[in-house]
Amino acid sequence: MALLQVNRLYKQFPVRGGLLNRPIGAVQAVTDVSFELDQGVTLGVIGESGCGKSTLGKTIIGLHRPTRGTVTFDGVEITSLSHRGMMPLRRRMQFIFQDPYSSLNPRMTAGQMLSEVIRFHDIVSPRQRTRYIEELLEIVQMRPDARHRYPHEFSGGQRQRLNIARALAVKPDFIIADEPVSALDVSVQAQILNLLMDLRERFGLTIMFISHDLKVVEHFCDEMIVMYLGQVMERLSCDRIQQTARHPYTQALLKSNPINDPRDRTELHVLEGEVPSPRNPPPGCPFVTRCPVAESRCQTQRPGLVPVGRRHDAACWLVDADAASAVSSGSGKTAGSSD
Amino acid sequence: MTEIGSSRAWRKFLRHRPAVIASVVIAVYVAVALSVLLTGWITLEDTSARVGPANLPGFGLLPDPEQRMDNAEWLAERIESLCDRADPEEALAGFRDLGSRRLADLNVDEFRRRIDAIWDTWDRLAELDDVNEAARSPETGPEVREGLAELDRRCEALLQPVSETGSVWRTLELLLGTDRQGRSIFLRAVYSIRVAVMIGLVTGLLAVAIGTLAGLAAGYFGGITDGIITWLYSTFASIPGIVLLIVLAFMFSGGELDASLNRVTGGLLRTVLGGRLDETLIPVYISFAITFWIGPCRVIRGETMKIRELEYVQAAVVMGFGRMRLLLRHVLPNVSHLMLINFSLLFIAAVKSEVILSYLGLGVQNGPSWGLMISQSGQEVMKGFFWQIGSATGFMFVLVLAFNILTDALQDVFDPKHV
């Protein structure tokens, strides 16, 4: 059974206004997202900024309460658990934040921060605590004396290592990494990514890796989910995505990626138009306003996520037409339909 | 961001020379207040006792000739009236109107003889139309000044010589002159430091404590808690501060609240306080705390709302930490610099407001305070005597200035954008 199951998850943020501060609308941050994640798999979540990928991660970890839908972790439905009931699972699920500058408490040394987590979850006996902290720092390739220092004494990359150390301190199975390298220099990005890959091997971690960088996801992940305006557009394996990607949005993303060899450069494909407001998404396919191949039914009917290949789903009427046979066979993993 | 207690904050602070000097000044004030409070080297009696004639100028300056005559007249009449008592010896021995100075060890007849000698000189000088004018004019000047000196010597002859140790205290007593009732301005001004520092410290701490708790709760929990607290401080803030202070002070004054509280508690309050509520500083503390908590509450509410969304707090939520741990370990330490800055702002505000309230007769009820001194110096100022109002405002000015400089420096030190 999958380690993580997300079933028709919705997250809406109310928009308040008027004299009485009543809800006057809602931002549809995450709409009808379903997927499964097997033990040991690294799943990339990719999309433009504002597409709801961070909200998805934070809703899964419990920082946001979902509007609808469920999250099941290792067979336990966690969306309805109380603070106390969630406690044993907290140890097994961790989150690495995006901004290394605001994700460490400026008033605690690295050692205090790790020690608080270790004590709270009772990871090792008090006598082994110092040894364990030094071990953790070593795991993230930092010097043991770093534990006496405050966050402002570290660089961005070092802070992100500390974030990783904090997440690892509780010996988790599953980590959600929310754009862990996007705030770092390119050279440091590579170091942190390599570190994450080593750790994934060493501890057999399952990772949900949120990013807007297709190259990074392609390199780092096994599978990926492409999100647009809070909805999943395509789910596919990271092998040979150039060839396998079916959804027009994924293809547009691939074309907008920088090309290494200038001789390969063809004309630059830029998506026209604006992302629609998540307060007022189009009734049909969310991508319809910018889609180069949109048809009339795309305006009014929302395409569901349907299998288009082995471990490969897409939400597009045109892809759907190509794979009509796959639709009729209706795999169990199909999720979402036009509401 | 610079943090309290970090060596970086200290270095930044120590580079700020005026702030270091201001801290030393504040430390001296606090030390004086503590020494008065703990050792009692100035007692309440010292500040209310007569130490000499009224309105003596400070720094040992001589009053004008007319006043010197008035002072001699005052002393002679006082002693004369004591000699006329049924038990003159006892009355003379109990004479305390010259502060630490005592009458000479003489019998009643000798006192009368010496007082007559004073009157001789006094009468001679009194024949002049205008002593002040005469002392200045070139013809009569030397003679009048000699007469005045003689008058002073003859007054001095009534008293014991000043001992070595006694002279220091006597210098202090007369350092800044005396007020209209012949009380020592210096002792009163110094004793008022105790009152000012206590009011500043207690109301500063109380207001910051209440404001921090309310601000943390409002900012962190939001929703209905935030609504209630915001409503509460908006309501208080819509009343002009000084009006609110006056209303609260009126509520406590007159002893009616004290009486009804004692009726309800069966005299418990009186036993605990050892006196009447309106005679302590407690009403002042309460009214100031009620008015002043708004400032820190607002600032800390805003900062908490900001910090709550920061990723290190969310990281702590993901760890499963409880609300108390989040607030105390992750939010509170990161607003503590605001508490410090607000405390120092409120300290000044409390000292200044105390002066205003006491000036209006609603603040300190017993014992001296700068406000009472300023209030009492009204008539003196009209007569051209500025020692009392000058001393009170001077003492207050130095303290307030020092705190202002310190607050500015603290704001600079903790300002993340300021390197």
> CB contacts < 8 Å between A and B, how many?
61
* CB atoms A61 and B318 under 8 Å: yes
| CA angle, residues B65, B70, B76, in degrees to nearest 5 | 125
Residue A94 touches partner B, C-beta closer than 8 Å: yes
* CB atoms A107 and B3 under 8 Å: yes
Cα–Cα dist A92/A267, whole Å: 47
* CB atoms A120 and B317 under 8 Å: no
Chain A residue numbers touching B320 (CB-CB < 8 A)? 83, 86-87, 90, 120-121
Cα–Cα dist B19/B35, whole Å: 24
pLDDT of residue A268: 61
Cα–Cα dist A189/A248, whole Å: 29
Beta pairing class for A312-314 and A4-17: unpaired
Residue A136 touches partner B, C-beta closer than 8 Å: no
Chain B residue numbers touching A170 (CB-CB < 8 A)? 319
Residue of chain B minimizing CA distance to A171:
B319
Q: Binning pLDDT at 50, 70 and 90, where does residue B278 land?
A: confident
Cα–Cα dist B303/A100, whole Å: 20
pLDDT of residue A322: 55
Cα–Cα distance list, A94 to A91, A180, A204 (Å): 7, 13, 14
Chain A residue numbers touching B416 (CB-CB < 8 A)? none
The arithmetic mean of pLDDT across residues B243-250, rounded, is 81
The arithmetic mean of pLDDT across residues B135-146, rounded, is 84
Which residues lie below 8 Å from residue B200, measured CB to CB, with a gap of 6+? B346, B347, B348, B350, B351
The arithmetic mean of pLDDT across residues B102-113, rounded, is 84
Q: Which of B224, B309, B312 to mutate to test the interface with A (most CBs of A within 10 A)?
A: B312
Chain A residue numbers touching B330 (CB-CB < 8 A)? 105
pLDDT of residue B262: 81
Residue of chain B minimizing CA distance to A152:
B1
Beta pairing class for A312-314 and A231-237: antiparallel
* CB atoms A170 and B329 under 8 Å: no
The nearest CA of chain A is from the CA of B317 a distance in Å of 7
Residue A203 touches partner B, C-beta closer than 8 Å: no
pTM for the full model?
Answer: 0.81
pLDDT of residue B384: 86
Give the three-class secondary structure for A240: coil
Residue B1 has pLDDT above 60, yes or no: no
pLDDT of residue A111: 94
Residue B317 has pLDDT above 80, yes or no: yes
Per residue in B6-31, pLDDT tens?
677 788 888 889 999 999 999 999 99
Residue B403 has pLDDT above 80, yes or no: yes
In this structure, what token pair is assigned to residue B261?
């509280």
The residues that bridge with A46 in the sheet, in sequence order, are A211, A226
pLDDT of residue A336: 40
Which of B316, B318, B334 comes nearest A106 by C-beta? B334
Helices B185-221, B17-39: inter-axial angle, 10-degree rounding: 110
Which of B319, B321, B333 comes nearest A107 by C-beta? B333
Domains belonging to chain A, first-starting first, are: 4-92+172-329 (3.40.50.300), 107-170 (no CATH)
Residue B330 touches partner A, C-beta closer than 8 Å: yes
| ipTM of predicted assembly, 2 dp | 0.85
Per residue in A301-335, pLDDT tens?
888 888 888 889 999 888 755 544 444 444 444 44
Protein fold of B7-41+187-414:
MetI-like fold (1.10.3720)
Which residues between 223 and 252 in chain A have a beta carbon less than 8 angstroms from any beta carbon of chain B? none
Alpha helices in B40-130 (DSSP H): 44-48, 65-83, 88-93, 108-126
Which residues lie below 8 Å from residue A144, measured CB to CB, with a gap of 6+? A134, A137, A138
Residue B168 touches partner A, C-beta closer than 8 Å: no
Residues of chain A with pLDDT below 50 are 323-339
In this structure, what token pair is assigned to residue B208?
């910051």
Amino acid at A82: S
Residue A312 touches partner B, C-beta closer than 8 Å: no
Chain B residue numbers touching A83 (CB-CB < 8 A)? 320, 322
Alpha helices in B239-330 (DSSP H): 241-252, 256-265, 268-273, 282-292, 294-308, 311-318, 323-325
Residue B311 touches partner A, C-beta closer than 8 Å: yes
Chain B residue numbers touching A120 (CB-CB < 8 A)? 319-321, 325
Residue A123 touches partner B, C-beta closer than 8 Å: no
Cα–Cα dist A152/B334, whole Å: 14
Domain ranges within chain B, ordered by starting residue? 7-41+187-414, 60-174
Residue A183 touches partner B, C-beta closer than 8 Å: no
